[in-house]
Amino acid sequence: MAFTSNTKMQHDKFSFIDLFAGIGGFKMALSNNGGNCLGFSEINKDAIKAYCENFNISEDFNLGDITKIKGLAEHDMLTAGVPCQSWSIAGRNLGFDDDRGQLWNDTIFLLKQSQPKAFIFENVKGLVDPRNKTALQYILDRIKQAGYYANFFVINSFDYGVPQNRVRVYIIGFKNKKHFDKFTLPDHVSKKVKLCDILGINVNHVTKPNRSIQKDLFGNILETKGMSLSSTNGFNDYFLFNDIRNGHTTIHSWDILNTTERQKHICLLLLRNRRKREYGDLDGNPLSLKHFQQLDSSIRQEDIDGLLELEILKAEEYAFEIIPHEDNILSDEERLLLSYSKNNFFLIDSLKAQRKIKIEKISIPKSIEALKEKGVIKVTEIRYDFKNTKISTGLYGVNRIFLPTSDIFPTLVSSDSNDFITEEIVSAKNNNEFKANFIHNIYNTKKYRRITKSEACLIQGFPKDFKLPESRARWMRLIGNSVSVPVINLLCKSIIETGVFDQGESAETQRTKAQHAV
């Protein structure tokens, strides 16, 4: 089916052009508010096909690669979901006619050229990171130079009726200052769509007396690591699979594998101590057998070896001594690594912290192996850490499993994720029982799954039967890169309420009159 709107508007219809259109999140929201799309720009073949099939329009409306667009037709609103890039544009000030090639610059070039009455630009939340302060200010300055009054807003889709923790930056601007001054963000919706609504599961019988939503300084719901986003009877609404964090609903590898109480004890010792400064300067540091024995004198090498065999722990060559050698056998990369030694010794940690090594993209493991083969260094200390230390990866292919009582699902991303859902509700009397019941009734029985295509569409605010490719990797890339339709819908309404399209005749009204005159 094609998705259109018969909504009757009380204001003049407006026209818009959709840059970096994706599958049409902007198109759907603006059309539902009386907008008429004059053209879109997209280069991904799957996105173009989905856009045209779902909205029943010809591919002739596609303006193609934005870097090759020389000008836009007259229109009232410009939208753009500008892809995230490295912020190399910061500091450039070459003028609108000379700075093509950077996608933000290309977008602002077309804004300057076409002069619509309003615009909405969307980007990832990293744009407002303090590290990108210069880049953000550069973009805002260029927009001002183009003749617009604009501001940026950090918005979580959850606040506008999407059951997803999706924080994005929206830059909204107006040609006329009075419309800019009248614009206010829409109020948060009171009736939230929740994950259970998407799954079609009734959880009304489950009480939530100890509900606690974590928020950041913008008032947005945080995607926390190991912390509760919401709770049921004091229990978290999702389980985190991770060896380097701890909590009542954290599942560790030693909870899943067949381990002894002693092995569990050793793992917890490492978990509780690896972030202490006395063991290194990194956020997480491996421990040697000597360190373990300082914490528990009964620990022996065979205890560590057992955890290595289970692949819960891994051994790391940590400290090295430099052996006398001829300098001419060294590569430049190897000389750089050895330059960070002290008294002919160096630690892996000291190399990982060196900015120059990072800038020159030197592979520390490869260089270490080369130095060992040349007989230049020898290992003086072995340490042990968890095999799985990347939080987003999780354990054994699972990062988090969300219960149907959870209000939200994590941010949908184009590369997919290791986040799953279960349709089962877990009940328990205490935290230990809650975790045990989950492992026994859900994890061990594999009563969990990835979200489906139709669920992903609903989580982003699209109809569940929105047409997308059959391949999961392909449709996930499209839906993960899209804007959340309900957010754009409400932002559009707030823009319309400023009267920006009511005063005089909009470009769309003028266009319609001209067509009728002919």
The helix-helix angle for 472-480 and 45-55 (nearest 10°) equals 80
DSSP annotation of 157 reads G
- The DSSP H or E segment spanning 241 is strand 238-241
Distance (Å, rounded) from C-alpha 232 to C-alpha 422? 15
User: Residue by residue, what is the 3-state secondary structure of 456-505?
Assistant: HHHHCCCCCCCCCCCCHHHHHHHHHCCCCHHHHHHHHHHHHCCCCCCCCC
Cα separation, 349 vs 286, whole angstroms: 10
The answer to whether residue 37 is catalytic is no
3-state secondary structure labels for all residues of 263-324: HHHHHHHHHHHCCCHHHCCCCCCCECHHHHHHHCCCCCHHHHHHHHHCCCEEEEEEEEEECC
d(CA 285, CA 129): 27
In angstroms, the CA 238 to CA 165 distance is: 14
Residue 213 CA, chain-centre distance (Å), reads: 19
Stated as kind and residue range, the H or E segment containing 199 is: helix 195-199
Q: Which of 52, 84, 196, 267 is catalytic?
A: 84
Distances (CA, A) of 291 to 234, 269, 298, 300: 36, 10, 12, 11
CA angle 381, 387, 393 (to 5 degrees): 145
What the block records as the tokens of 418 is 């290791």
Contact by Cβ (8 Å): 14, 76 = yes
Any bridge partners for residue 169, and if so which? 123, 154
Query: Tokens 């060896």 correspond to what residue?
Result: 243
Burial 335-370 (b: 16+ CB within 10 A, else e): ebbbeebeeeebbbbbbeebeebeeeebeeeebbeb
Report the residue count for the chain: 518
* Identity of the amino acid at 38: L
First to last CA, the chain: 33
Instruction: Report the catalytic residues.
Output: 84
